[in-house]
Chain A
Amino acid sequence: MTSVVLPGAGPDLPDGPGVAVAPGDAPEKRPSLLGVVVPPLLLSAAVVGVWYLFSYVILKPSRRFLLPPPQTVIHTSFLEWNNLHPLLQSLALTAKAAGLGLAISILLGFAIAVAMSQAKAIERSVFPWAVVVQTVPILALVPIIGFMFGYNFRSRVLVCVIIAIFPIITNTLFGLQSVEEGPHDLFTLQGVSRWTRLWKLQFPAALPNVFTGLRISAGLSVIGAIVGDFFFTQGQPGLGILINTYLNRLETPQMYGDVILSSLLGIFAFLMVGAVSKRVIGAWYDSARGRAA
């Protein structure tokens, strides 16, 4: 051991004030529990208050069915098994379509983005089609899809993929291409293959963007599953068809129950992506500030 160890360089002697903290980052004050919990609760209470206002004050009793009060919605939709049962069955079906659609969007969208990042020619020829798929109104596509592929589960998944894949492609591609010159040079100097560069540099660097895309796509996939179902109006009923059914029968409490379940499904998808994102990149990436270091 003749290695020289530089004296005075130990962590006990910081480089300057604020060691181990990026300069300019003052220690943050943690918001109190009161501040975290109270404002959202107040807003939620206000929303429910407005709901009651409409149900009991603004609407005449004869027209109250247009917006039944919250306790009626909850009681009729969620506490009566006869009503809850079809809702849960539809929820399961819609959740399955949305989940499968999202999974396919991730795999396919990621593969497309990687291919586009590897050759400008691929990017130039594929990107316009991705935009076309994104901009064609889904309402115009749904009947065609149903007509061509049948009003079945597969078609519902297809609608989800069409609506959810675009943000994954664009965000992943942006992430793969956003690596700065310095890290690229560093890898170039080691004479790495393009796959090593992709796997060890571009892919991890793109992860924050991938999750940004995922967050959007997760919500879109749920919407796709419901909208597709709504317009198919045939086949095993998901939450979309059920909305139509309740509307036609003027069973408004169940209809609102359906809407609540739909949004809960969307929220669940959003939270899931957030949790996975935090687990995968939370250690080094600050999502709230949108930066790594």
Chain B
Amino acid sequence: MALVQEATRRPVTASAGVSFEGVSKKFPDGTVALNPVTFEVESGEFVAVVGPSGCGKSTLLRLASGLTKASTGSIDVAPGKLGYVFQDATLLPWRTVRRNVELLAELRGVPKAEARAAASAAIATVGLNGFEDKYPRALSGGMKMRASLARALTTAPEVFLFDEPFGALDEITRERLNDELLRLFADRRFAALFITHSVAEAVFLSTRVLVMSGRPGRIVADIDVPFGYPRASELRYDPAFARIAGEVGAALREAHS
């Protein structure tokens, strides 16, 4: 199983997973989506980005993945596999869960047996066993997101980009998926860039939180989150957690005043 070997073989290095240097984005219509930003996400680091809607958070991911070209500056993404989890589950409704999870391998021309094995492993990882032959319409919002996550996992990503993936879910489901994502992160140690507008989610998941101002976005604060992994759900009610969340919240408010 390629997926498993990939996860265990790779040594944890301090090389940069993603690095932005003076990157800005101006759309053809003249709107400035992003003022120059500079930051790095190292391998094994989980960086969350919080900011108000329309501040260019998602643009960061589109730039990192190459879906959009930067207007200025340079972007370095570790060569290798990139995982992208979208805001919507973006499952193809005409494919079953299994065929959806196999999609990326299929599009890349991976042999069928290999694609199937990687899909089965990923489906097991996100806990969707027994739902392989269901169509997306039969799944709840949380389960769709699990399938979407499984699809991204099949490429054994070393750099993982998350675009508010749990934003549309209810809080209970969101917290559960947060817990599970962290277990995955503790095990595989990819470089993660996670966009969210929830302060609590950002602090709970990440090793660092970047706070962005309103449009045109720029980074106004870079706050370390000193908790180790794995993290227990109860961390959310810890005074230390509250202090850091308070710090992030204050930086957000400051950016808007």
Which A residues have a C-beta under 8 Å from some C-beta of B?
A: 1-6, 8-11, 14-16, 18-23, 180, 182-183, 185-190, 192, 196, 200-201, 204-205, 207, 281, 283-286, 292-293
Contacts and interface: CB of A to CB of B under 8 A. Distances in A.
B143 A204 contact: no
B93 A293 contact: yes
A13 to B, nearest CB: 8
A183 B92 contact: yes
Contact of B8 (A2, A188, A283): A2
Interface in B1-48: 1, 3-4, 7-8
* Most chain B CB atoms below 10 A, which of A18, A19, A200, A284: A284
Interface of B: 1, 3-4, 7-8, 65-67, 82, 84, 86-88, 90-94, 103-104, 106-108, 121, 124-131, 134-144, 146, 169-170, 172-173, 176, 180, 183-184, 187-188
A16 B130 contact: no
Contacts of A292: 93-94, 136-137
Contact of B107 (A180, A187, A284): A187
A5 B137 CA distance: 25
11 contacts: A6-B183, A10-B130, A15-B140, A15-B176, A16-B173, A19-B140, A21-B140, A185-B90, A186-B84, A205-B94, A292-B94
A71 B142 CA distance: 61
B135 A283 contact: yes
A11 B126 contact: no
Main DSSP-derived SS at the A contact region = loop
A8 B135 CA distance: 22
Given A5-B124, A182-B87, A190-B108, A281 B94 contact: yes
A3 B120 CA distance: 12
Given A4-B125, A5-B124, A6-B127, A20 B4 contact: no
B93 A284 contact: yes
Nearest to B66: A189
Contacts of A23: 140-141
Nearest to B131: A11
A1 B124 CA distance: 12
B92 A204 contact: yes
Given A9-B128, A18-B140, A23-B141, 4 more contacts: A19-B140, A196-B107, A284-B137, A286-B137
Closest 7 A-B residue pairs measured CB to CB? A9-B127, A15-B142, A292-B93, A182-B90, A4-B187, A190-B107, A293-B137
